[in-house]
């Protein structure tokens, strides 16, 4: 497979990748840099696979490789984003308006919830992508939803 083919397919999934990176980092420039870094890591890790892959211009092959690319890039974004997020804690002090309760979640909770609700990943795919156990995915999903409801309720009615 040619690098140009990978780049073409990457351009088709950039909106999903960017939205995930922004959900993790909450800063335009940092999200873009995270994508560049994750893509670089992906290309180095998967160089042999990509070079040997016999890419066909069929819809099925494009869809299959796009999925492979999406899952692997989101996995790399997640691993790099966890490291970067701890360095960028000050960004979480900003008020994100109606999404403030989402951004108050920790990075893993945001990631799991975003993949489930926005990208419509199932539990197994989230587990495979983030390389965490099934029970952790379910726990993070439950805790993130519960925490958002709790935050929204306390914001609307005040604390008792």
Q: What is the pLDDT along the chain (160 residues), one digit of tens a residue?
A: 777 888 888 999 999 999 999 998 888 899 999 999 999 999 999 988 888 888 788 889 889 999 999 999 999 999 999 988 777 665 555 656 678 889 889 999 999 999 999 999 999 999 999 999 999 999 999 999 999 999 888 776 654 4
Contact between residue 101 and residue 152 where contact means Cβ atoms under 8 Å apart: yes
pTM equals: 0.86
Contact between residue 36 and residue 113 where contact means Cβ atoms under 8 Å apart: no
127: helix, strand or coil: helix
| 51: Cβ contacts below 8 Å, ≥ 6 apart | 1
Contact between residue 81 and residue 13 where contact means Cβ atoms under 8 Å apart: no
């Amino acid at each position: 497979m040619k690098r140009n083919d990978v780049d073409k397919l990457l351009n088709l999934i950039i909106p999903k990748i960017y939205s995930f990176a922004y959900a993790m980092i909450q800063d335009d420039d940092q999200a873009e840099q995270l994508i560049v870094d994750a893509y670089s890591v992906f290309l180095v890790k998967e160089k042999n696979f990509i070079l040997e892959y016999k890419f066909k211009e069929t819809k099925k092959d494009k869809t299959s490789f796009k999925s492979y690319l999406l899952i692997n890039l989101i996995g790399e974004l997640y691993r790099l984003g966890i490291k970067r997020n701890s360095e960028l804690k000050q960004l979480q002090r900003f008020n994100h308006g109606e999404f403030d309760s989402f951004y108050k979640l920790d990075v893993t909770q945001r990631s799991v919830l975003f993949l489930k609700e926005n990208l419509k990943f199932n539990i197994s795919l989230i587990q495979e992508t983030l390389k965490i156990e099934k029970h952790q995915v379910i726990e993070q999903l439950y805790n993130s939803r519960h925490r958002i409801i709790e935050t929204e309720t306390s914001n609307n009615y005040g604390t008792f």
